[in-house]
Amino acid sequence: MKTDVHKGAFYTGEYRNLFEELGYSEEAVQAKLKQAWSDILGDDSEVQIYYPMGDDKGYLLDTGNIDVRSEGMSYGMMMAVQMNDKEIFDRLWNFSVTNMQHTEGRYKDYFAWHCKTDGTRLSQGPAPDGEEFFALALFFAANRWGDGPEPYNYSEQARRILRACVHQGEDGNGGDPMWDPATKLIKFVPESLFSDPSYHLPHFYDLFALWADEEDRPFWKDAAKASRAYLHTACHPETGLSPEYANYDGTPAEVQRHGDFRHFYSDAYRTAANIGLDWAWFREDPWQVEQSNRIQQFFRNIDVNDYRRYTIDGKPFEEPALHPIGLLATNAMASLAADGPDAEHFVQLFWNTPLRTGERRYYDNCLYFFSLLALSGSYRIY
């Protein structure tokens, strides 16, 4: 499985279907994608993660914690716009803007990071991975379906979110921006002095540089460049593993009061997927090919059932992975960039693996669906 030498899909409009490259028919691939979307939305209590609410709302449930997260809501909106499912998109957005988005104060225009299923907030603080997914999903919705009346004036809603991400606190409300002004790197939370490598989405920022407020477009272009460079420092040069939280120089962040996040664990799985999609869309950084080969080589001879927590230099803990299917999905999504001998292996293994069932299925199946979109050439720029 070799990567092409031409520019990415942003420039060519061409999206690789890695399943077809392995011999699966377009009909089989589309059937698998549609069935997975149906299962996520469906009423099988062992698989379902989407739940409708009333006439015009719905939410993705974190089935392990029984709450609703800005991460999952924004993920669901991105999935829905990719699947051309406007009803689900609008239900998720209406829940989010009604129950989770702040209208005043230090978090104005940010989203509370988690709430109860009835919309009651459990925490007021935001998590920047939600904001960046909300913004791009909204831009894609505007480009695919057109803007409507508030709150479905998607493009303005996206610009409002990004305006806060860059300028929060400038009006004296005591808030903080979500990107560090000095380094132009995304923060773990607005008040923090460190980052999360899996939050870095340079392929999103290149698109924000086209569609955000005109005055902020140079910032987003710089942010894309800064994030691509940052990932070089956050990913281990031999294993390809990254920590969950990392300082602005890429070194693992100190132990936090809510836990030790210096290792390769749940958050960090997304880094490989993000790098793969950035390569597929833009192909700006050849290092991403080497990095994707490295992480696939690390996991090649480890059975999915034996996935664990790891130090970033590759030492396993006794603690098993909480989301092994999610980790498999992101290892497979790395094949968008990888050109080594393991790329086909992970795509084939992923194809043969079903959605996760049971209590912890939410995070795994979000990552699973993104990988299914990406590997089928269906995770597209609109």
Where residue 4 sits, what CATH number does that domain have? 1.50.10.10
CA–CA dist 58, 46 (Å, integer): 18
Whether residue 224 lies inside any domain: the answer is: no
Whether residue 301 lies inside any domain: the answer is: yes
pTM of the model: 0.97
Whether residue 87 lies inside any domain: the answer is: no
Cβ neighbours of 237 (radius 10 Å) = 11
10: left (phi over 0), alpha (psi -120 to 50) or beta: alpha
Domain housing 26 = 1-41+238-382
Per-residue buried b or exposed e for 112-125, using 16+ beta carbons within 10 Å of the residue's own CB: bbbbeeebebeeeb
Whether residue 252 lies inside any domain: the answer is: yes
The pLDDT assigned to 256 comes to 83
Tally of structural domains, the chain? 1
Strands (E), the chain: 50-53, 57-60, 68-69, 114-115, 308-310, 316-320
Mean pLDDT by 10 residues, the chain (382 residues): 72 98 98 98 96 98 98 99 98 98 97 98 98 99 98 98 98 95 98 97 98 98 98 98 98 87 97 98 98 98 98 98 98 98 98 98 98 98 98
* CA angle, residues 312, 314, 316, in degrees to nearest 5: 110
Active site residues: 71, 267
The pLDDT assigned to 8 comes to 97
Give the pair of three-digit tokens for residue 370.
């993104």
- Helices 343-351 and 324-333: angle between axes, nearest 10 degrees: 130
The pLDDT assigned to 4 comes to 52
Whether residue 168 lies inside any domain: the answer is: no
Give the pair of three-digit tokens for residue 342.
């393991």
The pLDDT assigned to 199 comes to 98
Report CA torsion sign: 306, 199, 334, 256.
Answer: negative
The pLDDT assigned to 349 comes to 98
165 contacts 129 by C-beta, under 8 angstroms: no
The CA distances from residue 274 to 238, 347, 370, 374, in Å, are 19, 16, 10, 10
CA–CA dist 47, 60 (Å, integer): 12
Whether residue 66 lies inside any domain: the answer is: no
Whether residue 231 lies inside any domain: the answer is: no
Residue 220 half-sphere exposure toward CB, CA atoms < 13 A: 23
Cβ neighbours of 38 (radius 10 Å) = 11
Whether residue 363 lies inside any domain: the answer is: yes
